[in-house]
Amino acid sequence: MDLDSPSILDERLLSCLAKEPPDIGVLWEICSHFEWLNREKTIDDIASWLGPADGLKILDCACGSGFPAIDLAARGYDVTSSDGSLLMLEHFRRNARREGMDIQPAHVRWDELSAHHGEAAFDVVMCRGCSLLYAGTWDDNRPPDRTMLTAAIREFVACVRPGGRLYVDVSSAESLESLEPQWTRRPGLTVGGHSIGLREVVTNHPDRGIRIWRSWLDIDGVTYEFERRSHYLPHDELVDLLADAGLVDIREEKMQSEHYEVFAGKRPD
């Protein structure tokens, strides 16, 4: 896949390659390039789910490198952005500047959400990019602790106003069923003269409650290896956690443009 032509050059990818050596944020930027090839369609679908922007207050509590928070803000949505990873926030700020958006995301861990942002302060709380599964593990790759997962969901719900909604995505049911390593080799990229290759493998360990994601990122012939452990969370267990946190009307949303599977629930009035 050649992105050298100025008409299709992805400046977001090119700017992240200035990071040397590449960190987990660079890896995520490249992964998300493949996972949401039609970003405009994804934003259209999310905006349709959200409804009109007027008067709607949104918290993206796993804003990462800025998709979709920056795009939604550009469409007039009142989006508050925070993330627990300082590395990811570096990429967010760079992307916001590139888009000409004056957005200042906050560094907030999920166990601090309601204390920092306020209880019942938002009409919608979003946690996308399969971020929930990395509760307590993302930056330091520590073994998943189930109590961190439960506590994170309770904090999400605490920030939702009565009658408001939570939007969270997780791995597909199909990807959770396999006990064999699941390999993906992404198409090669050429970005501004840089050659990029990406291989990934995900392995489920249901007995340990863990999924292991290993990635090999090749940039101009140099390979960088990454590994992250996340929670193994079947969909029925997610629904139970959402219900235990006080949500009702919990359902899987059919969002064709989303890479992961979306679940939503409502905080009772």
Closest CA to 224 of 190, 203, 196: 196
**pLDDT for res 11:** 67
**pLDDT for res 141:** 85
Q: Is the pLDDT confidence value at 9 over 60?
A: no
In whole angstroms, how far apart are CA 193 and each of 154, 165, 220? 46, 44, 9
Q: Are 4 and 192 in contact (CB under 8 A)?
A: yes
**pLDDT for res 65:** 93
d(CA 55, CA 65): 25
Query: Where in the chain are the domains?
Result: 11-173+234-266
Instruction: Please tell me the least confidently modeled range out of 9-18, 33-42, 81-90, 213-222.
Output: 9-18
Tokens representing 22 are: 């590449």
d(CA 44, CA 50): 10
Q: Cβ of 56: how many Cβ atoms within 10 Å?
A: 17
CATH topology of domain 11-173+234-266: Rossmann fold (3.40.50)
pLDDT digits over 90-140, tens only?
A: 999 999 998 899 999 999 999 999 999 999 999 999 999 999 999 999 988
In whole angstroms, how far apart are CA 182 and each of 126, 207, 254? 27, 17, 24
Burial class from Cβ neighbours inside 10 Å (0-12, 13-18, 19+) for residue 115 reads exposed
Question: Is pLDDT larger for residue 227 or for residue 11?
Answer: 227
For the entire predicted model, the pTM comes to 0.93
d(CA 82, CA 88): 10
* Model confidence band, residue 45 (pLDDT cutoffs 50, 70, 90): very high
pLDDT digits over 242-265, tens only?
A: 999 999 999 999 999 999 999 999
What integer is the mean pLDDT of 174-202? Answer: 93
pLDDT digits over 224-238, tens only?
A: 999 999 999 999 999
Kind of pairing between the strands at 261-266 and 160-170: antiparallel
d(CA 254, CA 251): 9
